[in-house]
Amino acid sequence: MKKIKLSIFLLAAVGLMTSCNDFLNKYPDNRMELHTPSDVSKLVASAYPDAYPAYLLEMYSDNTDEQVHNTWSSMDRFQEQAYGWEDITETGVPDVPQKLWNASYTAVATANAALEFIAAQPNKEAYETQKGEAKLCRAYAMFQLANVFCRAYDPNTADKELGLPYPYAVENDPRATYQRGSLAQLYKNIEQDLTEGLELIDNAHFAQPKFHFTPAAAHAFAARFYLYARQYDKAVAHADAVLGSDATTMLRDWEQWRKLGANDQVQPNDYIKSDKNTNLLLLTGMSMWGYISRPIGLGNKYAHGKLLSSTETLESKGPWGEGGTALNYMVTSGSNVSKVGLGKIPLKLDQYDTQAKTGVPYAEFSAFNADETLLVRAEAKALLGRYDEAVADINTLLKVFVRSEAKATEATRTLTLNGIKEFYNKLRYYTPQLPTVKKQFHTDFTIEATTQEPLLQCILHLRRLVTMHEGLRMQDVKRYGMTIYRRRVSVENRIIEVTDSMKANDPRQAIQLPQDVITAGLQANPR
């Protein structure tokens, strides 16, 4: 085979290039020689974004309040801007939109470099799995960007909503220009890559499959994508491909995880272990979230606090009982800190000075797992009117999510559709001053009030608990048009004042593009 040497210009961003100082004119020079499918596999392994939006999206969502105490302060200006739904101008910390943008488009460019090389080979069939993985990586990076920088997908308006540039080739022309296009086109492009990648992918060449798109991980990705795209039959089908005939074999052993205790990194490291059946795709990214999400001293001003935990999330009451005592997690808090949470996200340090123990903080995330995929399927079934099947999925999760010592109680026995309806229909809707787990939906599609809505309330309640700290809640808020608020909360957990709100039609639901990208000429999100 002819030796081909690639000089890969991994684009830091996409937009209009107008001068040598433009944001887009940044080329990390990664030269490597590609000869074999194994070489391409190594290249594609770097086509996963080295950034993850959990910290950004948790600050942005209704999982955070402003906690008021004279010793509590924000971590940095980024945290303040994210919580305040401001256009984020900070660039110097790992979790900012600019770094997510850079990392995602770099991943896209890497995937494109692999695909260009494969297209030039006479024996293309030898590279099919690498081609499949590259297409899935490109689709995933763009999907992550869409969830952060775009509105929720609505098939009735998607052709009018702003999308994002979707590069299909490595850009070598510094004068190239790009347009955002529509959200409809962006979703169409993602779907094309996703479906084509799924047809080609397999497990054969992965030494560490949990860090790659295996068929199971790809189907989990497809299930979530189609749920967000409102193609519910397809969401169910792809979830079925992950979960098989008995989903319980794929779910996390929540009781084992809870009993590990909350000391140091024990629970977080166990949560993202590659030998857990539930973990389908594990990703690392530069992030402080493993630190900020835990009940540790810094970043206390904007946090998931006791009021949220007791009324809406971890310690709230559901038809399964009170979360803090009935469910298989250990709620952690600390003296003189505002945060209440779970030990999910490990904090690691990529050390460059072993003596001083300094380096770049990063975290590892369970990007796709069977527990969340099961709830994707339950939600899709509920939206299709397959209520009994949705309840069955809920009960499958509760078999492992409810503590064994609580299962015999009245509140936590197997749920029925009537029991779910009774619980949520009796609840009053949330207000910021009188919070509950039941938030009003403002959707452009009809939700049947007596059965479908309480079932969806139950699924979204569970989903909020299962995915706590993982950055998925904000997309649920957007998809269902929930109004969320900004509140100042006293150390006694009393609401001092409501300072802002974000409704279903609020343009701030789409986080603003990085300022350098806007300056370079790409259209900003409306404000």
Residue 245: CA count within 13 A, CB half-sphere: 0
Dist. CA 332–CA 341, nearest whole Å: 5
The pLDDT assigned to 204 comes to 77
DSSP state of 248: G
pLDDT in tens, 365-389: 999 999 999 999 999 999 999 999 9
Residue in the structure block whose two tokens are 């308006």: 157
The pLDDT assigned to 171 comes to 79
| 40-46-52 Cα angle (round to 5) | 155
The pLDDT assigned to 348 comes to 83
DSSP 474-525: HHHHHHTT--EEEEEE-TTS-EEEEEEEE-TT-GGGSPPPPHHHHHTTPPPP
pLDDT in tens, 50-89: 999 999 999 999 999 999 999 999 999 999 999 999 999 9
Domains within the chain, CATH numbers bracketed: 1-51+95-205 (1.25.40.390)
Residue spans of the chain under pLDDT 70: 1-31, 351-358, 408-413
The pLDDT assigned to 13 comes to 37
Residue 306: CA count within 13 A, CB half-sphere: 14
Residue 272 amino acid letter = I
Angle of helix 387-401 relative to helix 370-383, nearest 10 degrees? 160
Q: What is the 3-state secondary structure (H, E, C) of 53-76?
A: CHHHHHHHCCCCEEECCCCCCCCC
What proportions of the chain, in percent to the nearest 5, are helix, strand and coil?
40, 15, 45
Q: What are phi and psi of 306, to 5 degrees?
A: -65, -40
- Number of other CB atoms surrounding residue 121 within 10 Å: 16
Task: Tell me the two tokens of residue 322.
Answer: 């009170």
DSSP state of 292: H
Dist. CA 298–CA 75, nearest whole Å: 6
Angle of helix 128-149 relative to helix 97-119, nearest 10 degrees? 160
